[in-house]
């Protein structure tokens, strides 16, 4: 309960139907705090984390730009009014048609990690800027992102040399330390990698103008698989990033710009789902053990796709907290799909829930502001996607 802003708590209390709420003021505060922690580092919000127009517009008003994965996201970003030079095509997986459409929309900065992609960019987005994504191992993150994207240091030199030869501007390098990165060591390793490749590129006559540090900054409100707060070392991470930025600027004449692509860090803790209880049941399993199951109206296919890796904090507002005599329950969503089950409760323990829960009781699912909307299905198994409401700050009566 203490992690909820007054705006979210009020909206959740008043709601009688299932939906996700976003606290716009909370998102703005988190963005402002990030800009204060990392001065001189530009923010390009990873749109996939929360493609909600009001959220994008608020971030744009604070000076953020956008990391877009395709023409549809590019068009949505531009509708906020940001200039095209604050939007980049950050996906290394692109079709020829996608590149051409992005170029038509005014995009002139493209991510890449392969020679065929460079050839396509040169053909369909001539004289554009490219930055090459380096592969990382993703250790320490809930999602490592270590295989689909990024190339080796040697390949990066080949890719950016080919870009120069094709009439493109080899502008930068990028890394991604993994989504919900819980260590500062990953950031240290990323800066070491960037420094090594920068020096190698210089030996090949290529001087870059920026480095993209990618995403990975953690949200703060998730639980670990034992129900305790994850407590990521955010201050230590910020200190490591500031040190890395300062060192690379010192080694390379101070001319380098830096870009960061936060996603869940800005929005996760400022969204919450109002759902309800379907049923609290007890069934005898094949091994003879009786097991409690808590079925909720919201699960993997209608808002909580990331529950394979995350444990969300559940609040039962009409019951005492903590519950005086809880039962350990497996928590699951409403669909006829066995994957629609919180894996941490299925494999490593159970979630203590009030034994007096009844069908229809409200449940609040916290820190759901990232990816809940973007991962919604169109109605798998007949369960409709969550609607969303953006909570705007009350006007200042003194103005």
Same domain, 220 and 328: no
How far apart (Å, rounded) are the C-alpha atoms in residues 121 and 243? 34
Does 352 reside within a domain? yes
**DSSP letter at 93?**
-
The yes-or-no verdict on residue 397 having pLDDT over 80 is: no
pLDDT, residue 342, reads 86
Q: Taking residues 327-333, report their average pLDDT.
A: 94
Q: Give the predicted TM-score (pTM) of the model.
A: 0.94
Same domain, 338 and 292: yes
Predicted confidence (pLDDT) per residue in 299-318, tens digit: 999 999 998 888 899 999 99
How far apart (Å, rounded) are the C-alpha atoms in residues 334 and 249? 52
Same domain, 281 and 254: no
Q: Identify the domain containing residue 59 by its residue range.
A: 24-268
Same domain, 183 and 288: no
Q: Catalytic residue among 31, 50, 132, 336, which?
A: 336
Same domain, 60 and 207: yes
Same domain, 83 and 106: yes
- Residue 286: C-alpha distances to residues 32, 182, 280 (Å): 53, 38, 19
Task: Give yes or no: 336 in active site.
Answer: yes
Q: Exposure of 289 by Cβ count < 10 A (0-12 exposed, 13-18 middle, 19+ buried)?
A: exposed
Q: Any idea which residue has 């939007």 for tokens?
A: 87
Q: Are 173 and 134 in contact (CB under 8 A)?
A: yes
How far apart (Å, rounded) are the C-alpha atoms in residues 258 and 245? 8
Boundary (domain end) residue, out of 210, 242, 268: 268
Does 8 reside within a domain? no
pLDDT, residue 379, reads 80
CB atoms near residue 259 (< 10 Å) = 21
CATH number, position 311: 2.40.37.10
Boundary (domain end) residue, out of 268, 297, 329: 268
- What letters, b where the CB count within 10 A reaches 16 and e where it falls short, cover 372-390? bbebbeeebeebebbebeb
pLDDT, residue 314, reads 95
Predicted confidence (pLDDT) per residue in 250-274, tens digit: 988 778 999 999 999 999 999 999 9
Q: Going by DSSP bridges, is the β-strand pair 388-391/327-332 parallel, antiparallel, or unpaired? A: unpaired
Predicted confidence (pLDDT) per residue in 63-110, tens digit: 999 999 999 999 999 999 999 999 999 999 999 999 999 999 999 999
Same domain, 168 and 131: yes
Predicted confidence (pLDDT) per residue in 32-58, tens digit: 999 999 999 999 999 999 999 999 999
Q: At what angle do helices 71-78 and 53-61 cross, to 10 degrees?
A: 60
Predicted confidence (pLDDT) per residue in 346-392, tens digit: 555 689 999 999 999 999 999 999 999 999 888 888 888 889 999 99
pLDDT, residue 383, reads 80
How many degrees, rounded to 5, is the angle at CA 30 between CA 237 and CA 276? 110
Which stretches of 134-178 are assigned E, i.e. beta strand? 141-143, 169-174
CATH number, position 263: 3.20.20.10
How far apart (Å, rounded) are the C-alpha atoms in residues 124 and 300? 38
Number of domains in the chain: 2
Does 11 reside within a domain? no
Predicted confidence (pLDDT) per residue in 182-212, tens digit: 999 999 999 999 999 999 999 999 999 999 9
> Does residue 144 or residue 6 have the better pLDDT?
6
**DSSP characters for 272-325?**
EEEEEEEEEEEEE-TTS-EEEEEEES--TTTT-GGGGT-BPPEE-TTS-SS-SS
pLDDT, residue 199, reads 95
Average pLDDT, the chain: 93
pLDDT range class, residue 224, cuts 50, 70, 90:
confident
Boundary (domain end) residue, out of 200, 233, 268: 268
The yes-or-no verdict on residue 399 having pLDDT over 60 is: no
CB atoms near residue 41 (< 10 Å) = 17
Same domain, 295 and 253: no
Same domain, 254 and 301: no
The yes-or-no verdict on residue 345 having pLDDT over 80 is: no
> Does residue 358 or residue 285 have the better pLDDT?
358
Same domain, 229 and 363: no
The yes-or-no verdict on residue 119 having pLDDT over 50 is: yes
Does 6 reside within a domain? no
Same domain, 217 and 278: no
Does 215 reside within a domain? yes
Same domain, 373 and 254: no
């Amino acid at each position: 309960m203490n992690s909820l802003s007054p705006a979210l708590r009020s909206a959740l209390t008043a709601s009688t139907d299932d939906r996700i709420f976003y606290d716009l003021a909370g998102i703005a505060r988190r963005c402002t705090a990030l800009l204060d922690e990392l001065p001189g580092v530009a923010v390009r919000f990873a749109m996939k984390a929360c493609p909600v127009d009001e959220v994008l517009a608020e971030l744009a008003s604070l000076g953020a730009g956008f990391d877009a994965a395709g023409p549809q996201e590019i068009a949505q970003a531009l509708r906020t009014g940001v200039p095209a030079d604050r939007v980049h095509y950050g996906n290394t997986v692109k079709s020829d048609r996608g590149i051409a459409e992005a170029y038509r929309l005014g995009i002139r900065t493209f991510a890449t990690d392969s020679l065929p992609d460079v050839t396509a960019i040169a053909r369909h987005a001539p004289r554009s800027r490219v930055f090459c994504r380096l592969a990382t191992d993703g250790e320490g993150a809930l999602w490592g992102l270590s295989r689909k994207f990024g190339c080796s240091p040697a390949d990066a030199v080949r890719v950016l040399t080919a870009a120069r030869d094709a009439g493109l501007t080899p502008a930068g390098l990028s890394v991604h330390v993994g989504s919900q990165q819980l260590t500062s060591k990953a950031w240290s390793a990323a800066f070491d990698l960037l420094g090594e490749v920068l020096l190698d590129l210089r030996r090949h006559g290529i001087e870059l103008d920026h480095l993209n540090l990618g995403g990975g900054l953690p949200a703060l409100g998730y639980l670990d698989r034992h129900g305790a707060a994850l407590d990521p070392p955010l201050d230590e991470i910020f200190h490591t990033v500031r040190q890395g930025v300062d060192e690379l600027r010192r080694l390379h004449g101070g001319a380098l710009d830096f870009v960061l692509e936060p996603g869940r860090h800005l929005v996760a803790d400022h969204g919450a789902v109002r759902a309800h209880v379907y049923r609290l049941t007890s069934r005898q399993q094949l091994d003879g053990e009786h097991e409690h199951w808590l079925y909720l109206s919201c699960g993997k296919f209608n808002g909580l796709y990331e529950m394979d890796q995350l444990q969300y904090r559940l609040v039962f507002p009409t019951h005492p907290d903590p519950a005086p005599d809880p039962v350990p329950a497996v928590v699951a969503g409403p669909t006829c799909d066995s994957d629609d089950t919180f894996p941490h409760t299925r494999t490593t323990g159970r979630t203590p829930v009030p034994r007096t829960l009844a069908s229809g009781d409200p449940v609040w699912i916290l820190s759901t502001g990232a990816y809940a909307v973007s991962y919604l299905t169109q109605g798998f198994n007949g369960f409709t996607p969550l609607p969303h409401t953006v909570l705007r700050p009350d006007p200042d009566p003194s103005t």
